[in-house]
Amino acid sequence: MPEQPSGRIAVLISGRGSNLQAFIEACKTGQLPAQICLVVSNRADAAGLQCARDAGIEVACIAHTDYADREGFDAALVARLQQAQPDLVVLAGFMRILTPVFITPFAGRLLNIHPSLLPKYPGLHTHQRAIDAGDSEAGSTVHFVTPELDGGPPVLQARVAVGANDTAYSLAQRVLSVEHAIYPLAALWFLQGRLTLDQQGAHFDGQKIPACGLQYPPPLAADSAAGH
Ligand code: GRF
């Protein structure tokens, strides 16, 4: 029997929602003993909204185009999210730059996943940039969100090899498959109280996390498998 939900997670999306779907599945199987309390999209046509509805999750659509500026949009997001009382807010392909109006109320409980090995390639077109640079590996990074775009402290990183024939599309597919493993895991650690953010940076079990984040699969996977 899956464990009872012990944490409330709100997910912000703008599109496809494959990471959202990974969270839905992890909650369903009990791998992530949590409840997705709300999914918010800034786009009414985001495919991920249907995944949420199909799973019986409450959804909200807040169109950024209805607001004069980023701060007004962010204030509306905060108001809606606060009604849902999340313990953790995860950005999963949410394609809006957030201001401190949003980030401050959720500081320390706001995560993002970025499709590169941060600090390499913040911003867009990460896979093409890795290919163009001749990188032998690419990957994805879960990080705490701070006002610096894709610049908050990394938490967990997974690597994939870049093949000679890779295109941005094929590389993105390979990276996505590891995203679906690391993002729910980072959320689990957060809800277990193992992952924290303070003035000194991100910590795991009280130890400072290295600048690139913990590397996946983590060494403690062996301990978990042994039932410790
Ligand atoms: C992922 O590549 C993630 O790293 C980035 O946006 C994409 C979202 O994909 N932040 P999906 O909507 O979860 O499928």
Residue 33 to residue 66: CA distance in whole angstroms: 35
Position 50 pLDDT exceeds 50: yes
Question: At 169, phi and psi to the nearest 5?
Answer: -70, -50
CATH number of the domain located at residue range(s) 7-106 in this protein? 3.40.50.170
Architecture of domain 110-228: 3-Layer(aba) Sandwich (3.40)
In tens, the pLDDT along 3-38 reads 455 899 999 999 999 999 999 999 999 999 999 999
Q: Is 125 a catalytic residue?
A: no
What mean pLDDT do residues 159-179 have?
Answer: 97
Length of the chain: 228
Site to probe by mutation for ligand 1, drawn from 97, 118, 128, 176 as the one with most ligand atoms within 8 Å of Cβ, is 176
Minimal-distance CA residue to ligand 1 atom 6: 93
Residues with CB under 6 A from ligand 1: 13, 15-19, 48, 92-93, 113-115, 140, 176, 179
Residue spans per domain, the chain: 7-106, 110-228
Tokens describing residue 152: 């908050």
Q: Which residue has 């703008």 as its token pair?
A: 14
| Positive or negative: CA dihedral 85, 91, 95, 100 | positive
Given 64, 114, 125, 143, which residue is catalytic? 114
For 104, residues 6+ apart whose C-beta sits below 8 A from its C-beta are none
In tens, the pLDDT along 67-90 reads 999 999 999 999 999 999 999 999
Minimal-distance CA residue to ligand 1 atom 10: 93
Minimal-distance CA residue to ligand 1 atom 1: 93
Question: At 204, phi and psi to the nearest 5?
Answer: -125, 120
Residue 215 to residue 115: CA distance in whole angstroms: 15
What mean pLDDT do residues 191-202 have?
Answer: 96
